Structure 1
């Protein structure tokens, strides 16, 4: 697996498959490059180059004590793009990765980016404030942190079925759920907490309004991790001219449960 160094000396791991127009996949909080195993072969077989990043503290990347704020994580993404000299990119961000994509556009512009897909993205702003009455109170964020620090495996185990919305008939094996759990628990505990907090506090509303490239927003109606009324629908209202697609039986893990539909929706965006 190749690595590169960010501006603060952190070594980040990435994967690079195929040739052709590049698609950069940005993983969910607590997951790494392996989550995209149902997307990479689909797009490589169709002539695209797939680049995947393990954010700091995740997967095979370094585990520093700092740099988990949204700006630094967006700059890490920019460093990978510049390291590989990528242009004409399709950026695909899942969950907290969607926030990193949105902040990348704010901090580094759209010069290298041709289009964007936000998948189950934790956008636009989660925290309850006077000008964000749809948000959640700070206490909910910190209650999760307390659970991480008491019994992190239990927190993930309690949400595993809901992550894939198996109660709606999505065909997900116990083995796949176990695999997802293991991948989440391989993330550094420190990074788990710091990225969680940073994601909760990041306000992306202004940045989303400024996006000018073609954008796809995809969300599951049954998403228990990023409630659609708080996230997907509000994001679609903010991004000018975006295409919004809602999957009625979708939970948070659309990349697995609805991989065929998701892949084709991203492909339609690219072919636009």
Structure 2
């Protein structure tokens, strides 16, 4: 099956590798399911059924003018699980923005069919600075991101992806991830401009703190200590403290783009967790 039709008629591209217990992989902004390829292959070789899909508006999926709020995105996840017959004993794994779909699914769909969950470099529980979240990022930061995209989308993403992968960061091998930067810019440019901007509003301003208590299954929380895109102190450490059944793994020196820069470490930790 290459495409799944959601309840509002949007066509989502889905890729499936391997056989066994289903593991649904939700990608980060502004990428596509292809960003999960290293983990998908490792999962398939380890005896799992890896299911990754392009979020609406990105990759090969349709680009409607609506539906980029997390309630709708969580419904999309539920529709993919149903269409792929992956509602029994599943694990749902979200990277970056994708962690929001995982969190909202746990409340909106009461974690139906989910046996394990994982949040990798995720935006949960809340990124925006507010009166009761003083450590968050000011709204102006996210407005600057949108302005940069509108002004020069490809140029913005080239700089964004360098930070994403820690290119040029202290201790990083300069130039070691330039190929990743170029590839990721190509993935980002596949997304529609409207969806790309709308999702900035979603992942930056959605408060997932009320969703954290709905994680009643074993949950892996993994994050890089050198993440300059979604700082670990603002995200993973807080999320792990709020999820009773969580296991926190901190990858020393890891940037935001862990799925690529630390692919073997991430895959090994994920497989170990899924087998536990």
Q: Which residue of 2 aligns with 1:155?
A: 156
Aligned length: 272
Q: Which residue of 2 aligns with 1:169?
A: 172
Query: In the TM superposition, what whole-angstrom CA distance separates every residue of 1:145-175 from its partner, at most 9, and x where no partner exists?
Result: 1111111112211122221123333583422
Q: Which residue of 2 aligns with 1:69?
A: 69
Separation of aligned partners in 2, 1:269 and 1:15: 23
- Report the alpha carbon displacement of residue 241 of structure 1 after superposing the two structures with TM: 2.8
Which stretch of structure 1 is more off in the superposition, 149-158 or 211-220?
Answer: 149-158
Q: Which residue of 2 aligns with 1:270?
A: 274
Q: Which residue of 1 aligns with 2:246?
A: 242
Q: TM-score, structure 2 length as denominator?
A: 0.95
Separation of aligned partners in 2, 1:6 and 1:14: 12
- Report the alpha carbon displacement of residue 217 of structure 1 after superposing the two structures with TM: 0.4
Asked if residue 254 in structure 1 is aligned to residue 258 in structure 2, the reply is yes
Which stretch of structure 1 is more off in the superposition, 1-10 or 40-49?
Answer: 1-10
User: Contact 1:218/1:232 (CA < 8 Å) preserved in 2?
Assistant: yes
Q: Secondary structure at the match of 1:256?
A: helix
Q: Root-mean-square deviation (CA), in Å?
A: 1.3
1:205 to 198, 203, 209: 209
Separation of aligned partners in 2, 1:60 and 1:160: 21
Q: Which residue of 2 aligns with 1:85?
A: 85
Q: TM-score, structure 1 length as denominator?
A: 0.96
Separation of aligned partners in 2, 1:111 and 1:40: 23
Q: Which residue of 2 aligns with 1:136?
A: 137
Separation of aligned partners in 1, 2:111 and 2:27: 20
Q: Secondary structure at the match of 1:39?
A: helix
User: Contact 1:56/1:63 (CA < 8 Å) preserved in 2?
Assistant: yes
Separation of aligned partners in 1, 2:160 and 2:254: 15
Query: In the TM superposition, what whole-angstrom CA distance separates every residue of 1:124-143 from its partner, at most 9, and x where no partner exists?
Result: 11122221112122222112
Separation of aligned partners in 1, 2:12 and 2:254: 31
- Report the alpha carbon displacement of residue 117 of structure 1 after superposing the two structures with TM: 0.9
Q: Which residue of 2 aligns with 1:181?
A: 185
Unaligned runs of 5+ in 2: none
Separation of aligned partners in 2, 1:208 and 1:80: 22
Relative distance call for 1:262 and 1:182 in structure 2 (3 A) is same
Query: In the TM superposition, what whole-angstrom CA distance separates every residue of 1:18-39 from its partner, at most 9, and x where no partner exists?
Result: 1101110000011111101111
Q: Which residue of 2 aligns with 1:190?
A: 194
Asked if residue 117 in structure 1 is aligned to residue 118 in structure 2, the reply is yes
